[in-house]
Amino acid sequence: MEASEAEGEGVPAGPLIRPVRPGNALETTFEALLDLIKVGAFPPGWRLPPERDLAARLGVSRTTLRSVLQDLQAAGFLEVRRGRYGGTVVTDAVPEASETAVHSPAEINGILVYRRVIEAGVARVAAQSTLTAERRSALRAACRAVREGEAAHYRRLDSRFHIALAEATGSQHLVDAAVEARSLANGLLNRIPLLPSNLENSNRQHERILAAVLEGDAEQAEALACEHLEGTESLLRGFLLGDEGRSG
């Protein structure tokens, strides 16, 4: 993304910035921004709004926000660019978080079921929604970004496509649920390797899901989303679960 592009151009991420939970403002603000970066809601090159605006959207003080931004910069997730089109920008090479949490088979299956319900439902509702030309263009751009992006950014770009589908529903609750489902799923996906053949198949499935959504075919969009998710679930269960944990 060119530094001259406006905040979130082609990626309507602004509505994803919402007031954080009350209490422990520093930690909850850090968590909220990090989650949006990790799932690709704020893609590489995305320029954050000015501090005053961002603090107001998050419902925190500028002092708290400034501390969080400094911590995210130190961790390699953000950088400050100078010049006319400068500002605080998501880095082009966001570091992958090391996933050290150990999940039980029940927890893994629970995450996968939650993700399947949310993302399949999102595909159906998106297909039933009235999509503006701008929204259609944003969905195509998000799908194209996954297909054309570097493998190192695949999971964030993949997440961004599915979150874009949630945004197309017009339901903020579904957007929030999609972000949460993706954050949980990526915690598992980051523990398994990227398989080129799987990525190619996923890209083909994305194209078919997008076509069904744009055509307004809700049943087909939901069925294709389920097929897409089942493939990923098979990989995760194969890598992360023993035979005793693959039911459910």
* Beta partners for residue 80, in sequence order: 88
Among candidate residues 193, 196, 143, 131, the one with its CA nearest the CA of residue 167: 131
Q: Is the pTM of this model over 0.85?
A: no
DSSP readout, 86-104?
-EEEE-TTPPPPP------
Cβ–Cβ < 8 Å for 192, 155: no
**H or E element that contains 81:** strand 78-81
Sign of CA dihedral 234, 240, 243, 247: negative
Cα–Cα dist 138/30, whole Å: 27
State the pLDDT at residue 6: 40
Q: What is the pLDDT of residues 37-63, one digit of tens each?
A: 877 777 778 888 888 898 988 888 999
CA distance 83 to 70: 19
Contact 173, 122 (CB under 8 A): no
Q: Compute the distance between CA of residue 83 and CA of residue 75 in angstroms, rounded to an integer.
A: 23
The domains of the chain, with CATH numbers, are 25-90 (1.10.10.10), 105-247 (1.20.120.530)
Measured at the CA of 54, the angle between CA 180 and CA 165, to 5 degrees, comes to: 35
Torsion of CA 236, 238, 240, 242, to 10 degrees: 140
The whole-number pLDDT of residue 96 equals 55
CA distance 239 to 174: 29
| Regions of the chain short of the pLDDT cut 70 | 1-16, 22-23, 85, 93-102, 242-248
pLDDT score at 23:
66
Which stretches of the chain are DSSP H helices?
Answer: 25-38, 51-58, 62-74, 105-128, 133-148, 154-168, 172-189, 196-215, 218-240
45, two tokens? 């090159």
Helices (H) and strands (E) in the chain, counts: 9, 2
Instruction: Name the DSSP class of 11.
Output: S
